Structure 1
Amino acid sequence: MTTAEFGYTRWGRDFLRLAEPTRISRPEPLLPRARSLARHAVTDVQVEDRLLRGTLVRGGEASVAYLEFAPLPREIACGVAERTGVHPAPAALTDAVHDTLAAHPPELAVADCSCRARTERCVHVLALLYETARRVDEDPRLALSLRGFAAAVDQDAPSTEVPRWIPLTALDPAAFRAFPGAPPQSTGG
Structure 2
Amino acid sequence: MTWRGTLTLVLLVAAVITGWSVWQQRAEPTATVTASTRPSYLLHDFEVVALDGEGKESMTLRAPKLAQNADDRTMSIQTPLFLLPDKDGQRWEVRSKTAWVAADNSEVRLRGDVVANSPPGAQKPSTLKTEQLNVFPDKNEATSQVLVSVTAPGSTMQGVGMWADLADKRIRLLSKVQMTDDPKRR
| Short-chain TM bin | under 0.3
RCO comparison, higher one (Cα < 8 Å, 6+): 1
Higher helix share: 1
Higher Rg of the two aligned structures: 2
TM superposition score normalised by structure 2: 0.24
TM superposition score normalised by structure 1: 0.24
